[in-house]
A = this chain, B = another copy of it.
Amino acid sequence: MIAPATTPTHPLLETHATALDEARAALAGRTWFSRYPESPSPRVYGEEAAGAGVTAHEAHLGHPYAALDDQPGDGSHVGGEVSPYGPRLGVTYPVLDLDRGLAAARAALPAWRDAGPQVRAAVCLEIIDRINARSFEMANAVMHTSGQPFVMSFQAGGPHAQDRAVEAVVAGLVEQERVPTSVVWEKPGRDRQGNPAPTRMQKDYRLVPRGVALVIGCNTFPTWNAYPGLFASLVTGNPVVVKPHPRAVLPLAVTVEVAREVLAEAGFDRALVQLAPEADGEGLARTLVERPEIVVVDYTGGPGFGSWLEENAAANGILVYTEKAGVNTVVVDSTDDLRGALGNLAFSLTLYSGQMCTAPQNIYVPEGGVDTDEGHLGFDEFGERLAAAIGRLTGDDAKAVELLGATVNDQVRSNADSLGRIADEAGGRVVLESRRVTHPTFADAVVRAPGLVALDVSREDVYTQECFGPVGFLVRTASTEQSLAQLADTVREHGAMTAAVYSTDERVLDAARDAAADAGVALSENLTGQVFVNQTAAFSDLHGTGANPAANAAYTDAAFVANRFRVITSRRHVA
């Protein structure tokens, strides 16, 4: 009998064994789990952490990013990031030589493959721990590329993204561990004399990665949306090329730097993770997707390139995981906590000026109005009350910017400026203008509070398109029944990352769950406190469903990881 393959050993296995066990249990139960504290408080991360983060961030500004100089390249650099808060970052990044970079990635694959899933998971966890140690630096990098407010940059760009990374690592690990390394297969049988004579074979199952994976980052959540694909591919053995959005490179440069550092320390090839920066408009993502070496792609971004990817890359046998855009929907039927509901909705609309892929856009309210604990409100009254709640939340400029952040691009600013035109064209009415907010520190930042347009349900031509940024539509429906039917129809056709319902009626809630299941969108019910429809919790909430056009995948289910590796059997008779 041939000895089974030796089990790989690595010092990091022991370091992270407990953490991986805890994460495994959380993923299986979908219970609360967080490895990294979300509070940027000095009591958690230390008195020096915030200052050190600023210092580290500022050290990058105006300089080439030298820590990636060991990537294959010819010495040329690109980089033109401008903070949505105003300042030009002045960081440049070494251009990756694709031929040499992709060859290096391929050459790095066998040793990483043969290290096995447990070692890979432990190395990934070490990478994420080290990224966590740079969370304040990362917060500054995310803030000055995405335009998120600081605390959100810290949380979503730091610990929350890191928790999603751990989730992807553990999902990939568990999936690989479901395949036994080896089995002795024994088929009962008898010889010619009728004595037991089983057929015995040893079967070894070898896990092999797909090949080189590509992660295409986005502008608004450069780390949060890149980490699931990055770590899902890495833990399943695939070298990864990270192509950041040209206006949000720095957070992923830091990420790639840390990954390469840890990989080298752990005895692996740095080429397992590489950064492929590009100048704005260069079209590098497409160039990369058309390279034969690239066989897995994770993409977050606009629907144009996303659909091209789904159509073309998939046709070339590339696995594609996309998150694009949709029309997130809220159905308002009734509430026994009007103040809580309005506050929650206002916050969801306000946070990062609606520039979250999960922010609500369409709020369906029946023309007959809404029963509440403060009495019945007509359609218009409800709109006024929601506008007032937004006003309270964003009325003070200094406080407002800590929620709103800055607008990330001209399209968002143009959307914010278009409420009057939209209302006119749609035969509707501006309920709340998108207020211009002055940033007390960054004079050049364009900061906008959410605005609201009321229109009729018949104007699908207007509200079934994504209007990214601080714009909400109050859609007047005939009834809650119509609201729910419209939710199902529009999400099925146009996609959505989130849906929410407010109702005191169990029958309406049941109908909402059915509508959400039919549409393939996750549902939040009666959120009135400190959980918001825009937010999903790693290990418990699936982000996206893969069941509607907004995204073909979800963070993180088995389908997100199971196809990133394949199983190769070898079998032989044994005595």
- A509-B535 Cα distance, complex, nearest whole Å: 52
Select one of B28, B183, B547, B571 contacting A568, CB under 8 A. Answer: B547
Select one of B178, B206, B559 contacting A28, CB under 8 A. Answer: B178
**A44 contacts chain B at the CB level, 8 A cutoff:** no
Pairwise interchain contact B524-A571, C-beta atoms closer than 8 A: yes
Chain B residues with Cβ under 8 A from A180's Cβ? 28-30
Select one of B513, B520, B546, B569 contacting A541, CB under 8 A. Answer: B569
A364, chain B: closest CB distance, angstroms:
17
Chain B residues with Cβ under 8 A from A523's Cβ? 568-571
A284, chain B: closest CB distance, angstroms:
22
Pairwise interchain contact B567-A554, C-beta atoms closer than 8 A: yes
**A74 contacts chain B at the CB level, 8 A cutoff:** no
The digit string for A316-358, where 1 denotes a CB below 8 A from any CB of B, is: 0100000000000000000000000000000000000000000
Taking CB atoms and an 8 Å cut-off, the chain A residues in 541-575 that contact chain B are 541-542, 545-547, 552, 554, 557-559, 562-563, 566-573
**A526 contacts chain B at the CB level, 8 A cutoff:** yes
**A521 contacts chain B at the CB level, 8 A cutoff:** yes
**A506 contacts chain B at the CB level, 8 A cutoff:** yes
Chain B residues with Cβ under 8 A from A552's Cβ? 317
**A431 contacts chain B at the CB level, 8 A cutoff:** no
Chain B residues with Cβ under 8 A from A196's Cβ? none
Pairwise interchain contact A527-B573, C-beta atoms closer than 8 A: yes
Q: Beyond A314-B314, A315-B315, list 7 extra A-B contacts (CB 8 Å).
A: A29-B180, A31-B186, A199-B529, A199-B530, A522-B571, A525-B570, A547-B568
Pairwise interchain contact B31-A520, C-beta atoms closer than 8 A: no
Pairwise interchain contact A183-B30, C-beta atoms closer than 8 A: yes
**A129 contacts chain B at the CB level, 8 A cutoff:** no
The digit string for A201-212, where 1 denotes a CB below 8 A from any CB of B, is: 101111010100
Taking CB atoms and an 8 Å cut-off, the chain A residues in 23-40 that contact chain B are 28-32
- A547-B564 Cα distance, complex, nearest whole Å: 10
A541-B571 in contact given A30-B185, A183-B30, A562-B557 (Cβ < 8 Å): yes
Could you list some 27 contacts between A and B, CB below 8 A? A28-B178, A28-B180, A29-B183, A32-B185, A32-B186, A32-B188, A178-B558, A183-B540, A185-B537, A187-B537, A204-B513, A206-B513, A210-B547, A312-B315, A315-B315, A317-B552, A512-B570, A520-B566, A521-B568, A522-B568, A523-B568, A525-B570, A526-B573, A542-B567, A542-B569, A559-B562, A563-B563
**A443 contacts chain B at the CB level, 8 A cutoff:** no
**A111 contacts chain B at the CB level, 8 A cutoff:** no
A573, chain B: closest CB distance, angstroms:
6
- A86-B568 Cα distance, complex, nearest whole Å: 40
Chain B residues with Cβ under 8 A from A546's Cβ? 563, 566
A182, chain B: closest CB distance, angstroms:
9
Chain B residues with Cβ under 8 A from A526's Cβ? 572-573
- A516-B315 Cα distance, complex, nearest whole Å: 25
A529, chain B: closest CB distance, angstroms:
6
Taking CB atoms and an 8 Å cut-off, the chain A residues in 158-196 that contact chain B are 175, 178-180, 183, 185-188
User: Which residue of B is nearest A543, CB measured?
Assistant: B569
**A264 contacts chain B at the CB level, 8 A cutoff:** no
Chain B residues with Cβ under 8 A from A317's Cβ? 310, 552
**A290 contacts chain B at the CB level, 8 A cutoff:** no
A325, chain B: closest CB distance, angstroms:
15
Pairwise interchain contact B203-A540, C-beta atoms closer than 8 A: yes
- A31-B29 Cα distance, complex, nearest whole Å: 27
- A247-B521 Cα distance, complex, nearest whole Å: 42
Chain B residues with Cβ under 8 A from A528's Cβ? 573
- A562-B175 Cα distance, complex, nearest whole Å: 11
Chain B residues with Cβ under 8 A from A203's Cβ? 30, 540-541
Taking CB atoms and an 8 Å cut-off, the chain A residues in 440-472 that contact chain B are none
User: Which residue of B is nearest A210, CB measured?
Assistant: B547
Chain B residues with Cβ under 8 A from A186's Cβ? 31-32
Chain B residues with Cβ under 8 A from A66's Cβ? none
